[in-house]
Amino acid sequence: MSTFRVRPARAQDCPDILRLIKELAAYGNALDAVKLTIIDLLKDGFGDHPLYYCLIAEVPDEAELTGLGIGPEILRKLSQIAITNGCSCMNFLVVIWNQTSTEYYTRRGALDLSSQEGWHLFWFNKKELLQMANEK
């Protein structure tokens, strides 16, 4: 039986992190959207002032990876970190066209605030930011 370990990421994990980011993006048909490089991940996550934190699920070999409870363990560790750091809740974004993801989270008690309260995610790209910054 394979065992796994969820631990904080280290600088050496960055190539694997980028690989997994791209796999996730490809799953959502958005592989071209990933502009980040390994250097970006290193600089942003392992410099003097980290811009992000990352947990990694490490497995000893390439055994069967689903059904081991890795997802719930990552969520459990994230929840512990949230509580330890005085956070009251966790917010995140889900593409609801993906029913599997949606059910995964709602089964664990997550609420869809967009459906419940009407929140929409709006975004400005660099082009619009430049236009706003250059406005008189």
Give the binding site for other proteins (CB under 8 A).
21, 24-25, 30, 33-36, 40, 44, 51-52, 72, 75-76, 78-80, 82-83, 87-98, 102, 105, 108-115, 117-133, 135
Cβ neighbors of 113 (< 8 A, separation 6 or more) are 119
Q: Minimal distance in Å, beta carbon 54 to other proteins? A: 9
Choose between 63 and 82: whose C-beta lies nearer to other proteins. 82
Q: How many Å apart are CA 96 and CA 3, to the nearest integer? A: 31
65 sits in the region (left: phi over 0; alpha: psi -120 to 50; else beta) called alpha
Q: Which amino acid is at 132?
A: M
Q: Minimal distance in Å, beta carbon 55 to other proteins? A: 13
Choose between 11 and 51: whose C-beta lies nearer to other proteins. 51
58 forms beta bridges with 5
Q: Minimal distance in Å, beta carbon 76 to other proteins? A: 5
